[in-house]
Structure 1
Amino acid sequence: MNADQILQEIREVNLSYLMLAQNLVRSDREQALFRLGISEDTANLLAALSPAQVLKIASGNTLLCRMRIDDDLVWSLLTNHSKEGNDSVSRLHASILMAGRHQEAA
């Protein structure tokens, strides 16, 4: 994959992310804040963007979304495939940890 293809992929991801985020904010604000890990101010901005603004913002060369999993413990919980069948417990624990971090950031 060359540099131009990577930039095009970033623009497509940005557009998809902005459209998803805007739809989530407009349909279920509380879920959007939690699932996207954004603040009330960011939600307000997203909800107010026109289609032209969404396209303009998405056309940049910088990825707008980021990985929220920046902790070894959370990665371990999400990637742990134990033989005891505790995958759902591990995923629940990881979700709780990430939700707590969202509350700290807000």
Structure 2
Amino acid sequence: MNTDQILAEIREANLSYLMLAQSLVRADKEQALFRLGVSEETAALIGSLTPAQMMKVATGNTLLCRFRMDDDMVWNLLTNHGKGSANDGMSRLHASILMAGRHQEAA
């Protein structure tokens, strides 16, 4: 994959993310804050973007979204690395609880 292809993929991911984020914010702001891991100010800004503004923001060369699972414990819970599938639901619930706590810390 060359640089132009990577930049095109980043732009596409950014636009998809912005469209999803705006949709979440407009549907249920509180849930959007939790699911996106953004501040109220950022959510308000995303919710008010026009389509032209979203296109302009999306054309940057940096991804707008990022992984919020910054530690091995959450990744292991989400992927069930080294575990059977019997505890899949419980592992995902545990990971969600951990990430929810981090959202509260950031807010």
Report the secondary structure of 1:85's partner residue.
helix
The within-5 A match list for 1:7-46 is 7-46=7-46
Scaled by the length of structure 2, what TM-score is found?
0.95
Q: Structure 2 counterpart of 1:28, which letter?
A: D
Q: Structure 2 counterpart of 1:95, which letter?
A: S
Q: Structure 2 counterpart of 1:17, which letter?
A: Y
Determine the C-alpha separation between the residues in 2 that align with 1:55 and 1:93.
37
User: Is it true that 1:66 corresponds to 2:78 in the alignment?
Assistant: no
Q: Identify the residue that residue 6 of structure 1 maps to in structure 2.
A: 6
Query: Which ranges of structure 2 fall in alignment gaps of 5 or more residues?
Result: none
Matched-pair identity in %: 75
- Please give the root-mean-square deviation of Cα atoms over the aligned residues, in Å: 1.1
Query: Which ranges of structure 1 fall in alignment gaps of 5 or more residues?
Result: none
Give how far 1:80 is off: 1.5
Aligned in 2, Cα 1:85/1:61: closer, same or farther, shift over 3 Å? same
User: Is it true that 1:99 corresponds to 2:97 in the alignment?
Assistant: no
For residues 3-30 of structure 1, the C-alpha deviation after alignment (integer angstroms, 9 at most, x for no partner) is 1100000000000000110010001111
Aligned in 2, Cα 1:84/1:35: closer, same or farther, shift over 3 Å? closer
Give how far 1:79 is off: 1.5
Determine the C-alpha separation between the residues in 1 that align with 2:80 and 2:27.
33
Q: Provide runs of 4+ in structure 1 moved above 3 Å.
A: none
